[in-house]
Amino acid sequence: MSEQPNIILINCDDLGYGDLGCYGSTLNNTPHLDRLAKAGKRFTDFYMASPVCSPSRGAMMTGCYPPRIGFGSFNGSIVLFPGDGIGLSSSETTVATQLQNAGYSTKIIGKWHCGDQPEFLPTRHGFDEYFGIPYSNDMGRQSDRPDRPPLPLLRNETVIQAQPDQRGITERYTDEALQFINKNQDGPFFLYLAHMYVHVPLFVPQQFLERSKNGAYGGAVECIDWSMGILMDHLEQLGLSDNTLIVFTSDNGSRARDEGGSNQPCRGTKATTWEGGQRVPCIMRWPAKIASETVSDAIVTSMDFFPTFSKLAGEAVSTERIIDGHDVSGLMFDEADYSANDTFHYYAQNRLEAIRVGDWKLHFQKGDTEISELYHLREDVSETTNRYSDRPDIVAVLSQKAQAIREDIGDEACGIVGKNIRPIGRVDNPKPLTEYREDHPYMIAMYDLPDMPTMSG
């Protein structure tokens, strides 16, 4: 068996902390993901570096908090939009570049959302191949947004279809994944599968919709689960299961509105720095190395993937630039000498809104409003009992740690510009990947399910 594991990273879109059976859901049927968790390690305190998707995904790829790489804000928006002239800088190193340098075949399938201009696409950031929709599925032509450019489906850097039938996208993505695994079964390979689901609008295949107990949302979750089952079975059939690390997670919390998502028992939703906005499911399975039926309550983040996957691949992490992630391989393997990171910073755009140190979380800001709230997350994950007044000692310690990160990467709420930030990538004369043509025979010229809220990502 090769010392380098195959690595499959599966990242859902807007899947909430409480949306899987193994995280407490009684609405969504997720037998394959529950089986994945039983065969590996489930993390209870796993965080994405942002509560919305472009900064979340940029952070996961680079191992850095979004403001460090210029991903705190995008021309005043919270995420990137079609045709923006900004994106992930060519000077940044991604986890895919690390693994490519270590001899891995690399592919991303699905949502990228780190820039749609050629200079920002995945094929310029360490991925040998790309197949997918480069941003959110509500960013095409749809009933409440008819003036948007058609939704592009790319192969590498070429648009191969505009306005595809979204009900078939997950099946197409899964098939692409199987083909990639087949082609690279002698390994090592890195597959990043970034699902379209459960971002709205929810176009769901009929069979999943019919058996769902939770409407279209539940059907979309079950479709993700189906895809996981197909991948696990295929790895088993090829004899690759034992030496393949599977990591399953979500880019931020659920919107948890009327469509059926859940962040329970966490407070808050996507786009907030309450726990429900950034604490998400994370499951890791690697039969050769990770003990089955294990659970960790250590603080782990998506930024940790960069140094951890690099370590597993035998690729050194450069010391020439700062990254914020930590190697958590010792935690994955239950090694006694592992020293856990105990601190996490909650950024909303370029504002530091909260900090967690150990079991304590201190909130400073929510949008433009200052707040003073302290919670003990181990006892109060729902953030209901404010301990600010009775624990000034904890407030002082966390405030001091927060000041250090402000000086490092900044805090707009305090007017502080960080000392160690890097610029976002920029191009001249950007344009959308597609333009609408009345004479083109689109599969679906206009999506008919509106995305009523204005928030995207």
Domains of the chain are 6-332 (3.40.720.10), 345-425 (3.30.1120.10)
Q: What is the DSSP letter of 94?
A: P
3-state SS class at 273: coil
Q: Which position among 53, 223, 266, 282 bears the catalytic label?
A: 53
Sequence-separated (6 or more) residues with CB below 8 Å from residue 448:
142, 143
Take residue 219 and report the two structure tokens written for it: 């059907």
Instruction: Look at residue 140 in the predicted model and tell me its pLDDT.
Output: 96
Residue 113 is a catalytic residue: yes
Mean pLDDT in each 10-residue stretch from start to end of the chain (457 residues)? 86 98 97 98 98 98 98 96 98 98 98 98 98 97 93 98 98 98 96 97 96 96 98 98 98 88 97 98 98 97 98 96 97 88 97 98 96 98 98 98 98 97 98 97 92 55
Instruction: Look at residue 454 in the predicted model and tell me its pLDDT.
Output: 43
Sequence-separated (6 or more) residues with CB below 8 Å from residue 58:
64, 66, 69, 71, 88, 114
Enumerate the H helices of 238-328 as residue ranges. Answer: 275-278, 305-313
Residue 345 is a catalytic residue: no
325 touches 385 (CB < 8 A): no
86 touches 72 (CB < 8 A): no
Taking residue 368's Cβ as centre, other Cβ atoms within 10 Å add up to 7
Instruction: Look at residue 2 in the predicted model and tell me its pLDDT.
Output: 54
Total residue count of the chain as it appears in this document: 457
3-state SS class at 246: strand
Sign of CA dihedral 55, 188, 329, 239: positive
Report the interhelical angle of 305-313 vs 53-62 (nearest 10°).
30
Torsion of CA 259, 344, 322, 401, to 10 degrees: 140
3-state SS class at 348: strand
Take residue 100 and report the two structure tokens written for it: 């490519």
- Distance from first CA to last CA of the chain, Å, rounded? 40
Q: Which position among 12, 64, 113, 199 bears the catalytic label?
A: 113
